[in-house]
Amino acid sequence: MQLKIYNSLAGEKEIFKPILEGNVGMYVCGPTVYSNVHLGNVRTFLSFDFIYRSLTHLGYKVRYVRNITDAGHLTDDGDVNNDRFVKQTRLEKLEPMEIVQKYTVDFHKVLDMFNLLPPNIEPTATGHIVEQIELTQKLIETGFAYESNGSVYFDVLEYNARGLNYGELSKRNIEELFANTRDLDGQGEKKNPQDFALWKKASPAHIMRWNSPWGEGFPGWHLECTAMSTKYLGETFDIHGGGMDLKFPHHECEIAQGKACNGASPVNYWMHANMLTMNAQRMSKSTGNYILPMQLVSGENDFFEKSFHPAIVRFCFLQAHYRSVLDISNDAMLASEKGFSRLMEALKILNSITPNDEKQSGFSLDDWKAKCYDALTDDFNSPVLIAHLFEAVKFIFALKDEKETISAQGLEDLKSTLNAFVFDVLGLQNIEENNNEKLDQTLQVLIELRNQARKSKNFDLSDQIRDKLLAEGIELKDGREGTTYSIS
Ligand code: AMP
Ligand code: ZN
């Protein structure tokens, strides 16, 4: 089985060859933790969660690094008042690191809700200031960067003069770039408008600042990813991912920094996830065209007619390929909900099927499995994979209606393959089972509280717990083994 990955740098699908056989080093740009992540951000992280799960399922040992951007980085106009962290600190009257903590916690909670696996390493930009200063020094020493008024810039023209190609990822031509740039960031400090900051001098208003050989300042955004990916995955590693919008300038700058520092291309496969749109426009905080994950899940919003379970949102996202734009809508969510229920129902039915070794069925399990793996290894094509899973769903319903048969071994094979694709690879969760588990845990807590009430002779309370549960159709029975319950 050969895995094909669309490499944004090559502009085509390529056969994946890891640097170290059987191992994959993967870096994904994480969130800037100055406010809550919106559903669009979730889509990108979910796309890479699916890719991580797929690589693991295919047998690779993956080291997955996803950073947290917690150091202030300037917006395009270079005005400190527009620094996202500084703005939010003023707005919420909190310390910068309080903002970081608050939104990092929120980010983790949200991803947990959508059943994303944690990365193996989650480094922070502020935890790697020393590495970023070292890289900046190296770039100055080798002539790729220069200091100007307490800031340090990467010299893009020098980079190209040495036969390298700034613009190779975004397929931009440097002359065009120069023609289209206004020199606002840097305000006359830079040799050329396309030069980007490696280190920025902190103005008196800037709260997040560190000492450096160039005075007090803070690192440029592009540099943190080079510092952290190199530290944990090496000077050249297998996969680098992020949203499409990060291709330029962020990833273009990462390539330039890596090549200038180490003389080698930092990444073998660049992967870019496409955007989530709403009302046919990119979801974004700045335009106000966004929805927060909690608003969708709780139903507290004006866009969707009802609430949707996170597993259904996840299923909806995976019904589009990670490189396609996905427009979220009420109809799309309702259709996903229907499909999801049918898939879960089929899994339930599968547990009650009786095998029949005598009759032969028309459904070839081997062919079906091969098609599923072809989809997965064809640049992680989740919609095609899901379409194949629904062929199995159709077959399961036919088994139930006794229009098809399956052998005992086939049944085991179908069960384990389908479960692996649905739960391990797609990362879906069985809502019903989950709810049952939660209910059981809650009832155990109530039983424990009732026991404590009885022990302290608070029979009023213990009777109240029993009677109120009974009114809800839950009967508690006290026996020698302890208290059990039955639900009518
Ligand atoms: P940020 O915190 O702004 O750096 O964004 C975190 C991630 O979300 C980046 O990889 C962005 O490319 C991605 N992202 C931002 N907006 C969207 C969107 N509308 N759809 C999908 N991904 C997005
Ligand atoms: Zn990055």
Strands 151-154 and 267-273: unpaired
67 lines ligand 1 (CB under 6 A): no
Domain 4-273: homologous superfamily in CATH:
HUPs (3.40.50.620)
User: Per-residue pLDDT averaged across 210-227, rounded?
Assistant: 96
pLDDT value at position 77?
A: 42
Angle between helices 459-471 and 431-455 (to 10 degrees): 150
Handedness of CA 424, 425, 427, 429 (dihedral sign): negative
C-alpha 331/C-alpha 34 separation (Å) is: 32
Confidence of residue 134 (pLDDT cuts 50, 70, 90): very high
pLDDT value at position 411?
A: 96
Domain 277-425: homologous superfamily in CATH:
Isoleucyl-tRNA Synthetase; Domain 1 (1.10.730.10)
Q: To the nearest whole number, what is the mean pLDDT of the chain?
A: 93
Q: Does pTM surpass 0.85? A: yes
Angle between helices 382-400 and 365-377 (to 10 degrees): 160
- The CA radius of gyration of the chain, in Å to the nearest whole number, is 27
pLDDT value at position 74?
A: 47
Pocket test of ligand 1: the residue of 245, 283, 290, 292 to mutate, having most ligand atoms within 8 Å of its CB, is 245
Bigger pLDDT: 43 or 178? 43
CB 275 within 8 A of CB 153: no
pLDDT value at position 345?
A: 97
Give me the percent of the chain exceeding a pLDDT of 90: 81
Cα 244 to ligand 1 centroid, rounded to whole Å: 8
For the chain, which residues make up each domain, given as ranges?
4-273, 277-425, 431-487
User: Per-residue pLDDT averaged across 76-80, rounded?
Assistant: 48
Bigger pLDDT: 77 or 399? 399
- The per-residue pLDDT for range 287-307, each reduced to its tens digit, is 999 999 999 999 999 999 999
C-alpha 274/C-alpha 243 separation (Å) is: 6
Cα 28 to ligand 2 centroid, rounded to whole Å: 7
44 lines ligand 1 (CB under 6 A): yes
C-alpha 248/C-alpha 172 separation (Å) is: 9
User: Per-residue pLDDT averaged across 407-411, rounded?
Assistant: 95
Residues shown for the chain: 488
- The per-residue pLDDT for range 154-198, each reduced to its tens digit, is 999 999 999 999 999 999 988 777 766 655 555 589 999 999 999
| 82-91, 260-269, 305-314: segment of lowest average pLDDT | 82-91
Q: Which ligand minimizes its atom distance to the CA of 323?
A: 1
C-alpha 384/C-alpha 351 separation (Å) is: 25
Q: Residues annotated as binding site for Zn(2+)?
A: 29, 225, 250, 254
pLDDT value at position 92?
A: 83
Nearest to 110 by CA among 328, 288, 298: 298
pLDDT value at position 454?
A: 92
pLDDT value at position 17?
A: 98
